Structure 1
Amino acid sequence: MDRDWQNISRNDAWVWKPFAWEWWICIQLVLAIVGLLGNLLVMLVIFWPGRRRCATDTLIGALAVADFLTSIFIIPHPIVDMYPDTNAARFYCKIVHTSTLMWISICASIFTLTTISVEKLIAVRYPVWFQRLSTPKRATIAIVCIWIVAFGINTRSLYARYVSNGKCLSSKHSVALFIGVALFLVEYVLPVSVTVIAHVWTICVLRRRRVTALRKAQSLVLQMLLIVVITFIICWTPDQFGFLVFNLGIVPATYLFSPLYRCFVILAFANSCVNPFIYAARIPKFRKALKDMFMRKSGNRGIHSLSAGEGEGAYGNVVSSAQS
């Protein structure tokens, strides 16, 4: 009877690993806090009541929301060492242990950035068509679709993980290899390729423009977005390629616990908090909007668009000048 009671207690017990403040944990916490505060300011500037927004502003706000959620999910937390054989443990294994929510928000951030790049290309290449069809409402629909796709791609953990003998196990190696390579192509190679092509195409179109005001306004937005894209590539490339070679079996499992991989992960997490600094450095209207917001000047409508060039609404007024 005592032995059965001990087995039940052991099977129903959660065993947590001792939490240690390693150097990467401390840096990760700092990045999470900076990402939370920075992206919160971006969301306040864009979604402040009474402030008008264009489609690009809505997408940039959605990018800030995705990065804000990512910052929440990268906050360090204790790790389970032994799981009980319960439904709660299986749920924790599938959702928390696999960082599913974090990867959903990261995937949404990547796809939103890709959408912004394509939207910018369409605005420059087909200005009249873009002005007629581009609205914040349609941008919101695109954002909802992006999150649905991000959720669908990352639900693999709902069936690929399970609890066995107190451990949270993954799927078979062949399945894990296929999923790892597929995610590398879908979440990294495809978005980066589309984004780079869209920016190169946009630059080529802008060079042929003769309307000085139009080129100046659109070039300011393009420069800012280009910096965001380059930063994303720099931050995520080492981590993505490192995880790819691990899935391919080129490096041993100990690589995932090495200082080099820790550095790659920290660099990837840094991407969730750098965009607000880019906006502040490259967009005077963003700095002015922050100042006015803290000074309670939310009624100022002269700075209504974050993605605008100097003195123009993002694409609405700028594109109108292209029709004349």
Structure 2
Amino acid sequence: MFTTTTNDYFYNISINDEWIWVPVPWAWWQVIQLIFAIIGIMGNMVVMVVIFWPKRPRRSSTDTLIGALAVADFLTSIFIIPHPTVARYPDNTWGKIFCKVVQCPTFRVTSACASIITLTTMSVERLVAVRFPFWFRRFFSPNRTSVAVIAIWVLSVLINSWGLYTVHVVNGECVHSLPVGFHRFYGVLIFLVQYALPVVVMIVANLWAIFTLRQRRATALRKAQTHILHMLLIVVITFVVTRTPIQVTFFLYNLGVVDFKYIFGPTYSSFVVLGFVNFCINPFIYAAKVPNFRRAVDDIKRSLRACRLDHDDHDFHPVFALKQEDEECAQ
């Protein structure tokens, strides 16, 4: 059992057995972080309901990927909710779990990684649909896309589960057992795998798809595909704008260019808040750019007001897929 002291560090700290908890100070950036978390939870929940609505048995590969992106962003929004931190951990099972999973934080980085890889896969899926339609019908069936989503989550867990093995409770503190040099090397590797490479793939895939469409004669399919690509391009640009500052800053920190104290400064806190925008903005982009999404929300609202799920007077088609592509994949 620990007792409080007059030191400012332990002011207003609650003690529970061997735990020493530090309450959330609710700085400006934590308040904004909570607001973004709430918006992300509510917005992505709407997307999940629209995609996985029980009376929508037909889901395209695009629907499945956007639904998977909403799930990843929904979970990330939950994990970014500010919570009390621990000043001293007990050397027991619960202390070790909190250190490895929450303080590390394994859950948040895993769901964020899944979101990034899913968005990258969406860009590739759109390129294949436009440039290689035969391959699209072969490799991006709804069932195979679902398997790809599972593979994305497995890969995300493997990439970010290092904290389960390298973070330990030592003398009441949550510390990394890896050498500083290896930790920085791993940080650079994560930057390349979870940011640099996905950004290159997303930009190249979207630009290639748009260039391909511009070479074709004007048709209804081309117009519809261009519309979907523009929506996805906005999502990608939003990702780049909101995630670049924090990713580059942390990359420079791992290279030793940025001092450790900078990580706790107001500028870095601003970059953190900007990065959280990425996990709550997509539902608003869908609502603004995809009429089918707005109609699907209206259909569900009417079904709920009628207190029934068997809204038979509506044909629940895939939300984000194009009718022509959907018909080709069904053959």
TM > 0.5 fold call = yes
My pick for the range that moved more, 256-265 or 202-211, is: 202-211
Which residue is equivalent to 2:326? Answer: 316
Flag the 1:43–1:300 CA change in 2: closer, same or farther, 3 A.
farther
CA distance in 1: counterparts of 2:313 and 2:48, whole angstroms: 17
1:113-138 Cα shifts (integer Å, max 9, x gaps): 00010011111111133224422111
Which residue is equivalent to 2:148? Answer: 142
The answer to whether the 8 Å contact 1:16/1:79 transfers is yes
Flag the 1:300–1:154 CA change in 2: closer, same or farther, 3 A.
farther
CA distance in 1: counterparts of 2:31 and 2:60, whole angstroms: 38
Are 1:69 and 2:75 counterparts?
yes
Which residue is equivalent to 2:290? Answer: 283
Q: Secondary structure at the match of 1:295?
A: helix
The structure 2 residue matched to 1:254, chosen from 250, 254, 261, is 261
Are 1:160 and 2:173 counterparts?
no
Which residue is equivalent to 1:307? Answer: 320
Which residue is equivalent to 2:197? Answer: 190
Q: Secondary structure at the match of 2:228?
A: helix
Which residue is equivalent to 1:125? Answer: 131
Which runs of 5 or more structure 2 residues have no equivalent in the other structure?
4-14, 305-310
> How far did 1:107 drift?
0.3
Q: Secondary structure at the match of 1:140?
A: helix
The answer to whether the 8 Å contact 2:231/2:289 transfers is yes
The answer to whether the 8 Å contact 2:60/2:321 transfers is no
Flag the 1:300–1:282 CA change in 2: closer, same or farther, 3 A.
farther
Q: Which amino acid aligns with 2:317?
A: H
**Identity percentage of aligned residues:** 50
The answer to whether the 8 Å contact 1:111/1:146 transfers is yes
> How far did 1:205 drift?
0.9
The structure 2 residue matched to 1:201, chosen from 205, 208, 215, is 208
Matched residues, number:
312
> How far did 1:87 drift?
2.5
Which residue is equivalent to 1:240? Answer: 247
> How far did 1:277 drift?
0.1
Which runs of 5 or more structure 1 residues have no equivalent in the other structure?
none
Q: Which amino acid aligns with 1:17?
A: V
Instruction: Please report the RMSD computed on the Cα atoms of aligned residues, expressed in angstroms.
Output: 2.1
1:84-120 Cα shifts (integer Å, max 9, x gaps): 2223212211111011100000000000000010011
- Hey, which of these two has a bigger chunk of helix by percent? 1
Which residue is equivalent to 2:33? Answer: 28
The answer to whether the 8 Å contact 1:54/1:135 transfers is yes
Q: Secondary structure at the match of 2:247?
A: helix
Q: Secondary structure at the match of 1:273?
A: coil
Q: Secondary structure at the match of 2:87?
A: strand
The answer to whether the 8 Å contact 1:184/1:240 transfers is yes
CA distance in 2: counterparts of 1:283 and 1:27, whole angstroms: 28
CA distance in 2: counterparts of 1:48 and 1:109, whole angstroms: 21
Which residue is equivalent to 1:224? Answer: 231
CA distance in 1: counterparts of 2:251 and 2:226, whole angstroms: 35
CA distance in 2: counterparts of 1:153 and 1:258, whole angstroms: 28
CA distance in 2: counterparts of 1:93 and 1:63, whole angstroms: 27
The answer to whether the 8 Å contact 1:125/1:202 transfers is yes
Which residue is equivalent to 2:120? Answer: 114
Report matched runs for 1:94-105 at 5 Å. Answer: 94-105=100-111
My pick for the range that moved more, 292-301 or 72-81, is: 292-301
Q: Secondary structure at the match of 1:210?
A: coil
1:241-269 Cα shifts (integer Å, max 9, x gaps): 01111111112111111010111011111
Q: Secondary structure at the match of 1:80?
A: strand
1:156-194 Cα shifts (integer Å, max 9, x gaps): 111221111111112221111011000000000111111
CA distance in 1: counterparts of 2:76 and 2:48, whole angstroms: 14
